[in-house]
Structure formats: C-alpha cells, structure tokens
Structure 1
Amino acid sequence: MSGAAVEKARLRAERLAARDAIPPADRIEKSLLMAEHGQEALTCPPGAVVSGFSPIRSEADIRPLMAALKARGARLCLPVILDKETIVFRELVAGAELVPMGFGTFGPGPEAQVLEPDLMLMPLAAFDAHGQRIGYGGGYYDRAIDRMHKKGSAPQLIGIAFDCQEVASVPAEIHDMRLHAILTESGFRRF
C-alpha cells in the first residue's frame, strides 16, 4: 500500500468516526441546513439529471434537497452497484418499486432507465479546501466519473459532508476526481 493510501485510510477512519459521533438529532438538523443551502446555491435547468444517494450509517440525509430539485424539474437518479468495479445511475421515479441495493440501501431496480448525471451529489469520508475528497475506498465514483469523461460528459461534482469531515490536506492520487464544490451544514463552497 502506498504512503498516500495509508494516509487516506487513516484520515477516512478518523473523519468517519467524527461523523459517527454526531448525535442523530443533530445530524437531522445539519442535513436540513444542507438542504436549505443547496436549494439556494444549486441551479439546474428543467430536465437536468441529478444523482443523489440514500443515506447509510451516519451520512447526511439529502432527500429533502433531492425533492426540492425534482420540484424544479430535475430528473433524479441513484447509484447502483453492478459488480465489484462498476456503478451506474438509475432513474428514481415516483411510485416505482425500490429494491435492496446492498449496504442497507434501496434503489431503482433493473427496469429503471440508466442515466448520465449532469450534477452528482456525492457522499464522502473526508475533503480538503482544494476540492480533493476521500471516498469510502472502493473507487466506484472515480471509475464512473472517468467513464463519463471518456464519453465526453463532464458532470458537476458536489461533495456532501458535515463540517467535521474537513481535513487540512488530502493526499491526492492520479485517479482521484476533484470536486467542483462542497455542501455542508455551514453552506456551499466552490473550489
């Protein structure tokens, strides 16, 4: 394991422990603040495809923000893990059955349309003031974004985290995809 990978693992564990320590009631309040800031800061034309996520463990709950973006005309999708290497983004449609996706989440089934996001709301373990992020270690988002770039697509990458997940510096590696902005309970910051 490289020195950067070891440091990332350390920072990931440290920042996830800090996130886990946020009391559930506080996490709800902070998530609602994120939704307010996100509604003010994010603009997407009607029909724009926005990928979000269903919260797991101690992640921020961005479903209120996703609902607000849908009310403005966005098409929503959720990441779906296909195998150990690949995620795709399936459309989230009102009334469609959600199926288990692993990790305690539910999402659109195989009959749902696969979409290419214009804007990606991405969970993460840690981030820095330069837009570098540490994910959960699987590399799913990095590979999916790389695949989209190779097809000529350039989605806006918005990290979703609590303030306590910020670190002084993320040891970036060549495959890491830099965020365009971060959304926390304190507000929306572009990089």
Structure 2
Amino acid sequence: MLRRELITVRNTLTSDDVREAAASLARRALELPELARARTVAAYVSVGSEPGTLTLLDALRARGVRVLLPALLPDNDLDWGAYAGEGSLARVQHGGGMALFEPTGARLGPGAVTQADVVLLPGLAVDAHGMRLGRGGGSYDRVLSRLEHAGAHPALVVLLYDAEVVDRVPAEAHDRPVHAVVTPSAVRRFGRG
C-alpha cells in the first residue's frame, strides 16, 4: 500500500518539478565525500517521475569516474555496462510494460557491481533507520546480497524526493540499510557497518 501511495504522489509531479529536483539532487550528491573519492560508481538511469539521475551521471563522467549502469536480465537480476554519455543508452521494453534506459555497450556481468566504490540505489522511500523501500522486484536485493557475499563494502546511497524520507518502511530479515539518502534539500546519513 505504501508503494502505491508513493508512486501516486510521484505521478503528480510535473516535468518541471522532476527537472528542478534532478538539478538539486546532482548538486547535493556531488558534494558527498564518497562520490568525490569514487573511481567507480554503480548507478541507474531514472525513468518517468523518479528523481532524475542523468545530470549526476554526466557530472560524474566529466570528473573521470567510471559509471556502471544496470541492464535487467530475464530473471530480474542485473548485468552491468559502462555509461558513455546519453547517446550510449537504449530504451529497452521489459515485461509488464516497464521500459528502462540501459547501456548499449559490452556487458560486464552481474559481478561488476562489486568493483564500485559507491552504489546509487533507486527507491521509493527510506526510513529513519536507513531501510530502503524499493519497487518490489528484488533486483537490488540481489545486488546487495552479491556485494555482501563478495566482501565488497561500497557506500550505499539512495536518491529521493524530500517527502520520501519517512519514519518507517516495511523491512524483511534480508533487507540491509543504506548509508545515506540524498534529497533535493538535504543529505541524511545512517551508520555504516
């Protein structure tokens, strides 16, 4: 029910709202020390009314950061490819009407995410304990599990709108907290560990 409510609110945003939030998110995210030090960042391309990511992706690339973007596999796992600018993306239609922008270059395998210094995660909300509510497909749960099994410890950061930082989201035993959430007006940090 919470997912539906959050998506409904996002769907009321205008393209101007999304564009303005994306610019503020990029400015705020680029101030993160984790991103300033990062050599490789695993990210995603926002779609629809999601908080915009392209401005941030281009700024990271301009800094010389290697940006990895996901490609959805048939089993909902994620493969990865390098971002080489907006022209290196293709709109890919997936089952259930979901269309995503994915990298067109060589696939690096699901394990490529373990090379990231920072992983930017999509989400619908984050709570006061750093628990992230995703869309429910499980793709990023697999990413977080893969990182844990590989002994990789990148900074986990979620990009959201201000109203999507909430008191509590439903969490299951396998869920892991993120380290920070960036909104257009603030950065909120949670414990690393």
Task: Give the TM-score of the pair, scaled to structure 2.
Answer: 0.84
- Give the structure 1 partner of residue 174 of structure 2: 175
- In the TM superposition, residue 26 of structure 1 has moved relative to its aligned partner by 1.6
Indicate the SS of the match to 2:75.
coil
* Structure 1 unaligned spans of 5+: 1-9
Matched, 1:71 2:70: no
Residues 93-119 of structure 1, C-alpha deviation per residue, up to 9 Å, x if partnerless?
Answer: 248743333332222236243432221
Q: For residues 14 and 94 of structure 1, what CA distance do their matches in structure 2 show?
A: 33
- Give the structure 1 partner of residue 188 of structure 2: 189
Q: For residues 179 and 51 of structure 1, what CA distance do their matches in structure 2 show?
A: 14
One-letter amino acid of the counterpart of residue 83, structure 2: L
- Give the structure 1 partner of residue 2 of structure 2: 11
Q: For residues 24 and 38 of structure 2, what CA distance do their matches in structure 1 show?
A: 25
- In the TM superposition, residue 23 of structure 1 has moved relative to its aligned partner by 2.2
Indicate the SS of the match to 1:185.
coil
**Larger relative contact order (CA 8 Å, sep ≥ 6):** 1
Specify whether residues 96 and 21 from structure 1 end up closer, same or farther in structure 2 by C-alpha distance, changes over 3 A only: closer
Identity %: 32
Of the candidates 101, 107, 121, which is equivalent to residue 92 of structure 2? 101
One-letter amino acid of the counterpart of residue 73, structure 1: G
- In the TM superposition, residue 42 of structure 1 has moved relative to its aligned partner by 4.1
Residues 83-141 of structure 1, C-alpha deviation per residue, up to 9 Å, x if partnerless?
Answer: 22411221112487433333322222362434322211111112112111110001110
- Give the structure 2 partner of residue 147 of structure 1: 146
Task: Give the TM-score of the pair, scaled to structure 1.
Answer: 0.85
CA RMSD of superposed structures (Å): 2.1
Of the candidates 19, 28, 31, which is equivalent to residue 37 of structure 1? 28
Contact 2:121/2:157 (CA < 8 Å) preserved in 1? yes
Q: For residues 138 and 106 of structure 1, what CA distance do their matches in structure 2 show?
A: 17
Mapping 1:79-118, distance limit 5 Å: 79-94=70-85, 97-102=88-93, 103-109=98-104, 111-114=106-109, 115-116=112-113, 117-118=116-117
Q: For residues 149 and 7 of structure 2, what CA distance do their matches in structure 1 show?
A: 31
Between stretches 151-160 and 82-91, larger displacement belongs to 82-91
- In the TM superposition, residue 46 of structure 1 has moved relative to its aligned partner by 6.6
Specify whether residues 86 and 26 from structure 1 end up closer, same or farther in structure 2 by C-alpha distance, changes over 3 A only: same
Count of aligned residue pairs for this structure pair: 182
Mapping 1:122-141, distance limit 5 Å: 122-141=121-140
Matched, 1:21 2:20: no
Between stretches 92-101 and 51-60, larger displacement belongs to 92-101
Q: For residues 69 and 76 of structure 2, what CA distance do their matches in structure 1 show?
A: 17
Indicate the SS of the match to 2:157.
strand
Residues 6-34 of structure 1, C-alpha deviation per residue, up to 9 Å, x if partnerless?
Answer: xxxx1111112112222221221111111
